[in-house]
Structure 1
Amino acid sequence: MMGSTPFWGNLKNEMVHHRPFATRTEAEAAIREYIEIFYNRQRRHSRLGYLAPAVFAQSYWRSAA
């Protein structure tokens, strides 16, 4: 059994509860965009020192160069 994760709560609070969707396809596209653009790239992550993944990667590659 998988435990509950903050991701699903964040998704519901930040995306699903704040807008109605006319179709399932519209909902899927909006959720996919949320995951790909915001959650994976821009949202700050505690495991990355509260940096967004893009910022973390940029600082990593600068220090490695």
Structure 2
Amino acid sequence: MRPTGGWKSVRDVEIAVAVAVAEYIDWFNHRRLHGEIGHVPPTELEAAHWKSQSLEHYCETPVLIEAGTK
């Protein structure tokens, strides 16, 4: 998060912080190897979990066509 020539305004700092936070969240969720879950990124584990699930275990909840309308 080092400026390349200095920040001109508070807005520049806010943007730099937002970019740094977004990059950290991306790393944390997609590239970080987590030791407690077999040294795989959390998103890979979640994808494998949902791929292994069968839809027969889920009950269908009927949704009324009018739901959410007035």
Q: TM-score, normalised to structure 1's length?
A: 0.53
Cα deviation, residue 36, structure 1: 2.0
* Structure-2 separation of matches of 1:38 and 1:27: 17
AA matched with 1:50: H
Cα deviation, residue 46, structure 1: 1.0
Cα deviation, residue 40, structure 1: 2.1
The question of 1:61 aligning with 2:65 is answered no
Over 2 Å off, 4+ runs: 21-24
Identical-pair percentage: 19
Partner of 1:8: none
Task: Give the secondary-structure state (helix, strand or coil) at the position aligned to 1:44.
Answer: coil
Instruction: Give the aligned CA root-mean-square deviation in angstroms.
Output: 1.9
By percentage of residues, which structure has more helix?
1
Report how many residues are paired: 47
Could you report, residue by residue, the CA deviation over 1:12-45 in whole angstroms, capped at 9, with x for unpaired residues?
A: xxxx5xxx13353243123211222111222111
